[in-house]
Amino acid sequence: MQFDALSTPALMLDRNILLRNVAAMSARMKENGVALRPHLKTSKSADVARLATNGHSGAITVSTLAEAAYFLGKGFTDITYAVGFVPSKAPQAAALIAQGAKLNLVTDSLAAAQAMTAIEGDAVFPMLVEIDCGDNRAGVLADGPELLDIAQAIHEATNMELVGVMTHAGHSYGASNIAGVKAIAEDERSAVVHAATRLRNAGLPCPIVSAGSTPTAMYAEHFEGLTEMRPGVYMFQDLTQLSRGVCQRGDLALSVLASVIGHNRHAGHILLDSGALALSKDIGANAAWPDTGYGDVCDLTMQPFEGLYVSQVSQEHGIVPISDDSAFSRIPVGSKVRIAPNHACITAAAYSSYNIVEGDRVVDEWDRVNGW
């Protein structure tokens, strides 16, 4: 099928770029002797998960229990749900465990760990303690008192099993260059390894020592003491990663196919049928590249039209300002363009499936799971 047969907006995933991206990360993790537990929060797709885990154990990371249920249904049994768990979600988690999932849960809260002990039923929940390695989002400090209190409470409970520690250097997305990423990668590694050492010194089990973000997985100097990495967006990459130098333009696997629906000559802009829902309102690349707006406008081969970007979005409209009228003839009304999005994870979430692209043809359609 040619692109012209697709109704717009449509989500496009370039299979060859995807294959290259997952192969590179797979090889890097193997070379470094670290298990790869890819994060499927970006793709939410079993087809992508099969490629990303190829040659590895099949272990995966998810961001919602809906993803966990979907991937379990597709045969993935070793799953880490990497968002802080609370007992009110125990019925869903217990059901997945009963269906055969080895479902690792995460907490950074003594209160949550203590409340878990009151959950009724047969399920034994594998638990990871989350460490804050400098991201300042979730997690306890690796050298603070809470770590051992939480780990001890989990270890003593009859319905939980302490399986280790995990961290996520989300602040690596904000590094302005690769030297900055390398420094954050070392902070990430050393924090979670230090936490693991404290647990073991206290006589507590810690088989899993888990870290990972795409920038730190790609650029860490070494992974000593880590048992696994959990990168995710590397599979697709996006303008946010590109703007930080984490990837090259040719690594962008995801795009949105849009139609030109109007030329506003009095206002000096081109109108696309892809707006806040089709692209998302994420503007992550703008911190480094202010003229990225909601995405770069590219031709059907993903070559950027110089100077053309989506500057404003409303629900179903994207506005592309132009500096001179020649842009009107380059992308006439009715023509199609491809938009490189800021943040693949957020843009993809508006779609229920991927159009799988090879060159100028759509060769397949892959589903994805949304919601919670």
Residue ranges in contact with its own copies by CB under 8 A? 4, 7-10, 41, 63-65, 83-89, 92, 107-109, 111-112, 115, 132, 136-141, 144, 146, 170, 259-267, 271, 273, 276-278, 280-283, 312, 314-317, 319, 332-334, 336, 345-346, 349-352, 370-372
Which residue type does 2 have?
Answer: Q
Rg, C-alpha atoms of the chain: 22
Buried b or exposed e, range 155-181, using 16+ CB within 10 angstroms: bebebbebbbbbbbbbbbbbbeeeebb
Tokens of 300: 């059907």
Residue 77 Cβ vs its own copies, minimum distance, rounded to whole Å? 22
Please give the torsion angle defined by the CA atoms of residues 16, 18, 22 and 28, in that order, rounded to the nearest 10 degrees: 70
Beta bridge partners of 81: 62
Residue 225 Cβ vs its own copies, minimum distance, rounded to whole Å? 23
Residue 8 Cβ vs its own copies, minimum distance, rounded to whole Å? 7
Shorter beta-carbon distance to its own copies: residue 19 or 277: 277
Shorter beta-carbon distance to its own copies: residue 47 or 132: 132
Q: Indicate the burial class of 363 (C-beta count within 10 angstroms; 0-12, 13-18, 19 or more).
A: exposed
Shorter beta-carbon distance to its own copies: residue 4 or 291: 4
Shorter beta-carbon distance to its own copies: residue 26 or 45: 45
Shorter beta-carbon distance to its own copies: residue 326 or 372: 372
Q: Indicate the burial class of 357 (C-beta count within 10 angstroms; 0-12, 13-18, 19 or more).
A: buried
Shorter beta-carbon distance to its own copies: residue 27 or 118: 118
Residue 92 Cβ vs its own copies, minimum distance, rounded to whole Å? 6
Residue 252 Cβ vs its own copies, minimum distance, rounded to whole Å? 19
Residue 281 Cβ vs its own copies, minimum distance, rounded to whole Å? 4
Residue 271 Cβ vs its own copies, minimum distance, rounded to whole Å? 5
Shorter beta-carbon distance to its own copies: residue 177 or 314: 314
Long-range contacts of 50-58 (CB under 8 A, 24+ apart): 51/18, 51/19, 51/22, 51/235, 52/22, 52/25, 52/26, 52/235, 54/22, 54/26, 55/26, 55/30, 56/26, 56/29
